[in-house]
Structure 1
Amino acid sequence: MTKQFWNVLKVSPVIAATLLSANSALANEVQESVTSVAQLSQQTDNIGQVTSVSQFSDVQPTDWAFQALQSLVERYGCIAGYPNGTYRGNRALTRYEFAAGLNACLDRVNELIATATADMVSKQDLATLQRLQEEFSAELATLRGRVDALEARTAELEANQFSTTTKLKGEAIFSLDQVFGDQVAGGGDLESNTTFSDRVRLSLESSFTGSDTLQMRMSAGNFIQNNDVTGTRMTRLGFAEETGNNIEFDKINYAFNFGEKIRVKVDAAGAEMYENINSFNPDFKSSGTGAISRYGRFSPIYRQGNGGAGVTVQLNPKGAFTLSAAYLAPDNPNDPDQKNGIFDGSSTIFGQLEFKPSKAFNIGFTYARSYERGGFVDLTNSTGGLNARRPFGNVATTSDNYGVQASFQPSSRIAVGGWAGYTNAQSEVSDSDADLFYWAATLAVRDLGREGNTLGLIFGQPPKVTGANGTATEDSDTSYHLEGLYKMRLTDNIMITPGLLVIFNPEHDNSNDTIYVGTLRTTFKF
């Protein structure tokens, strides 16, 4: 609308500036009404007077308002810029900035009138301004009424808001699931019923400085793991959680910036490495809106040390290179007894180097050294066969884990990714050792059929023992994981995902029949 005023009405520079400022101020009122209370209190940037339009590095002679700015600067001297030499012509105007700019222009107009110079404001300018005010009085009154209503609404929200520092986020999953197949892995008829299950999470996220986050999450669910029916944890769903629908605090952490290039996250409970650093699988990593299987969400290396307490540090998290380091204690970090606590119990030392030259291509190299005490051993965190999970049985085990992950987006609608990992495990009670290997490739086709929908395909080999000495047993065959899903976004808050998971040669044994898991997941977010 402002550009049409300038082109059609040909008003004077002072009138144009006044109208532009008024329109921006009203627009800013609307914008501020939907921001947080903390944002409303932010201070504006310092401004400084300029004497020539050429002082603005972001104003070009080809800009449609260049002549107006040139006249206001050189004729009236009432345009101010930012200390870094920019004007930011497309930026919304705050009420403080509008008041400062208007005051400067009015002071200059009064000065011109007092000195009776040839460049003073003409009667034609004032007449044009009066005519425009009368012509658009109805629109101005409407906007003024909307601003008054927004101010009243903002005051009401401030008086009745839950908290000035805390937001409540929620997610609810309803899932209809069915396992198919002739036999259970290991032998015996496969008998399964259709199940209907739920999982609900409520997260309180507080910020005290604007760049920090304190998270406290409550969770409840009634999923029954299907490995008892299928005979293998390779069929485990990625969103399954069993608490008997009793509410539990499953995640407590605090993240903050330590300078401009260092991000620190301290987990008191429920640490999950894939949430702390980049896992290179953005379309499928979420348990609520990602892959339907546990293995399909991301590389198992990001499950090392999960579930307990620890600290994660990222150096240069927003740059092309990011170096991450973490120390996690997954089991009983709050127990002072022997073989428990932060340092005497199970633990993981984690490191990752990411290279992100652009949004189109990312790659990461990861290492984790883990110690798992006897009775709590699961090297792959329920994503592979039994041999891979506990190659020496449920005895104390140390492992060195290496991984490489990458994602490639040739266009905004296509994303290709994958990972490969190698683990060398050593028994702490004998001279036994074992080598594990796994890989996967992913494909996401976005906006297929409708904007917001995504078709996903995942294919790979779950963790497998490829070499063994001592008490460990090598897997003789190879299992393959095939997964297809279609995420349908009904609204911004509701998504339905039908999916099918197929496990060939379960437990890396080709004598086991293929097992199928079908699911219909509905996710509500608020």
Structure 2
Amino acid sequence: MTKLFWNVLKVSPAVLAATLLAANSALAGEANEQITTVNQLSAQPDSMGQVTSVSQFSDVQPTDWAFQALQSLVERYGCIAGYPNGTYRGNRALTRYEFAAGLNACLDRVNELIATATADLVTKEDLATLQRLQEEFSAELATLRGRVDALEARTSELEANQFSTTTKLVGEAIFDASQAFGNNQAVSNPQTPTRDLTSNTTFDYRARLNLLSSFTGTDQLQVRLQAGNIVNNRSVTGTSQTRLSFADPTDNQVQVDKINYAFNLSDYIRVKVDANTGELWENVNVFNPDFRSSGTGAISRYGRFSPIYRLGSGGAGLTVTLNPKGAISVTGAYLASKASNPNEGFGLFNGDYAAFGQIEFKPSKALNIGLAYAHTYDGGRDNDTDPTNTNTNAINFIGATGSTFAGAPFGSGVATTGNHYGIQASFKPSDKLTIGGWAGYSNAVAETGANRGRDADVVYWAGTLALRDLGKQGNVLGIVFGQPPTVTESPVANRRDGQSTYHLEGLYKIKVSNNIQVTPGLLVIFNPENNSRNDTIYVGTLRTTFTF
């Protein structure tokens, strides 16, 4: 008990004299009459009784050698009393009776504190029950212990052989069977003779490996490798309006087709630097979540998102987004598609470029609206990397998604500037339904050639519908309908589009597993190349996408 007493009070034996002296003073009367029990204090008519603070003693100073011990006994344990006149009289002698009475008072208080602190501890009965349960489930506990040991061994092996502590590998492989159908190849000019559309069913692939590295937890370095042989349908159908979303031919050669780095300057500023193959649609919201991906979204190039997000693609760039997680965000970007071609006289500021800005409104998770603007310059040189493309007119100005005239309003080789305006929206009234769409207008100005200084107008629009979990959880039925980019006004009479082309696309994404998706789809182009003399063209496809 003596050892417990010292541990609980946390005072040294040297302070015992102060403790006993305090007890003696607490048990003495005004006339210094000694008492033998603390109960006798209540019988003293002028007794001061228990004090709550050492400051209540007028004759105790902080400089006294026993001040801290006395303060602990009074304020921590509450077992010290004083004289009626507010004094402690710490220098008077201590009798054995006073020692016994004071020690008993403090021990009673200590026992009270111990009982309070251990009131909720387990009982012997609880321990007996726990031992019985341990014996009954000994086999299960042994099995669990073995599984934990095995898991620790596997974890150690993974840590020892992991690919990287900062990098993860994300892959995608597409197998596609497709064919275009129709009577004739599309021509832009109604006076141009047509040729028969001859096509075969093809089986193609595209494979991508992404190395995604993070050094701070909020940044990302992307290095992407790509190989494939899916050709552009334009060479078969005569129009880029039939182009598939995942057509990226590399002649089966592995290419490092994308390198970029994204990071946060602060909680409200996100920055992305593209070293090559920069694309706006990868850096900003395109308001078409169910169709934007080339591997798991729409089957057509035009059905993925508005053509305004294809401007400036193919080179280096910088994208900055302010307040990316807020209800209102602003994005500015600059992309130079020929930034890495100094031998041809181009550079970051000397060649083709797109200066882009977008304001995004997100009043709720269900409704997103975007207003976008871009100013572009196209020097009239072909940027299309498709080796099967021999039509240099259908390039760049509006992202190779519309008619031949919309791609080059003033003809091949004419430098053109453009002011592009777009509005995009996505509305999700329920978890099963998403409605979206976009509309755009572009004004093209000729910078060289016979029409220098003159302008042409290009318009486009589309609506999308996605029904989720149709038939099975994870499946999506998608419909896209709209008008691809079309020249409505032009100073060049024979480069003005006639009857509007209409784009109709239907697809059904089937979730086979978390890593496999099969998408049958059909693309229908009415009045291809905005020429009513052209027969309707159909493109059927069966796309299988593996992700890992």
**TM-score interval w.r.t. the shorter chain?**
0.7 to 0.9
Query: Which among 425, 428, 441 is matched to residue 406 of structure 1?
Result: 425
Matched, 1:368 2:350: no
1:447 aligned residue:
469
Of residues 392, 409, 434, the one that matches 1:391 is 409
1:497 to 519, 527, 546: 519
- What does residue range 178-217 of structure 1 map to in structure 2 within 5 Å? 178-186=179-187, 187-217=194-224
Query: Is the 8 Å Cα contact of residues 421 and 441 (structure 2) preserved in structure 1?
Result: yes
Task: Give runs of aligned pairs for residues 500-511 of structure 1, distance below 5 A.
Answer: 500-511=522-533
Shift of 1:325: 0.7
Q: Which residue of 1 aligns with 2:227?
A: 220
Name 1:152's counterpart in structure 2: 153
Instruction: Name the Cα RMSD after superposition.
Output: 1.8
Question: What is the distance in 2 between the residues matched to 1:303 and 1:201?
Answer: 20
State which of 400, 404, 408 in structure 2 corresponds to 1:382. Answer: 400
Deviations along 1:104-144, one digit per CA (max 9) or x if unpaired, are: xxxxxxx9999344726233443344444444444443333
Q: Which amino acid in 1 is paired with 2:547? A: K
Amino acid at match of 2:398: T
Does structure 2 conserve the Cα–Cα contact (< 8 Å) formed by 1:309 and 1:330? Answer: yes
Counterpart CA distance in 2 for 1:301 and 1:188 is 32
Pick closer, same or farther for the CA change 1:135–1:357 going to 2, 3 Å: farther
Does residue 1:458 correspond to 2:480, yes or no? yes
- SS of the residue 1:410 aligns to: strand
TM-score (norm 2): 0.73
Pair 136,305 (structure 1): closer, same or farther in 2 beyond 3 Å: same
Corresponding position of 1:416: 435
Identity percentage of aligned residues: 62
Q: 1:112/1:517 Cα in 2 relative to 1: closer, same or farther (>3 Å)?
A: farther
| Matches of 1:264 and 1:396, distance apart in 2 | 31
Determine the C-alpha separation between the residues in 2 that align with 1:385 and 1:455. Answer: 27
Partner residue in 2 for 1:520: 542
Matches for 1:450-489 after TM superposition, within 5 Å: 450-469=472-491, 473-489=495-511
Tell me if the contact between 2:311 and 2:396 (Cα under 8 Å) persists in the aligned partners. no
What residue is the counterpart of 1:164 in the other structure? 165
**Structure 2 residue 272 is the aligned partner of structure 1 residue 265:** yes
Structure 1 Cα separation of the partners of residues 400 and 223 of structure 2: 26
Rounded Cα–Cα distance in structure 2 between residues aligned with 1:338 and 1:227: 27
Task: Return closer, same or farther for 1:372/1:114 CA change in 2, 3 Å cut-off.
Answer: same
Is the Cα contact below 8 Å between 2:260 and 2:275 reproduced in 1? yes
**Hey, what's the Cα distance between the residues in 2 that align with 1:236 and 1:113?**
85
Local SS of the residue matching 1:147: helix
Q: Structure 2: how far apart are the matches of 1:517 and 1:365?
A: 32
Secondary structure, counterpart of 1:512 in structure 2: coil
Matches within 5 A, 1:230-309: 230-309=237-316
- Separation in 2 of the partners of 1:220 and 1:112? 79
Change (3 A) 1:116 1:130: farther
Deviation at 1:314, TM superposition (A): 0.9
Give the number of equivalent residue pairs. Answer: 415
What is the alpha-carbon distance in structure 2 between the residues aligned to residue 504 and residue 432 of structure 1? 30
Distance change >3 Å, CA 176–CA 113, structure 1 → 2: farther
| Structure 2 residue runs without a partner (length 5+) | 1-109, 188-193, 383-394
Query: Taking structure 1 as reference, are residues 164 and 229 closer, same or farther at Cα in structure 2, changes over 3 Å only?
Result: same
Tell me how far 1:153 sits from its aligned partner: 1.0
What aligned pairs does 1:47-58 form with structure 2 within 5 A after superposition? none
Unaligned runs of 5+ in 1: 1-110
Question: How far apart, in 1, do the equivalents of 2:264 and 2:129 lie?
Answer: 53
**2:191 — aligned with what?**
none
Structure 1 residues 116 and 152: alpha-carbon distance in aligned structure 2, compared to 1, 3 A threshold = same
Q: Which amino acid aligns with 1:257?
A: N
Trace 1:10-21 onto structure 2 (pairs within 5 A).
none
Q: CA deviation at 1:189?
A: 1.2
Name the amino acid aligned to 1:299: S
Deviation at 1:337, TM superposition (A): 4.4
Q: Is the 8 A contact 1:289 1:523 kept in 2?
A: yes
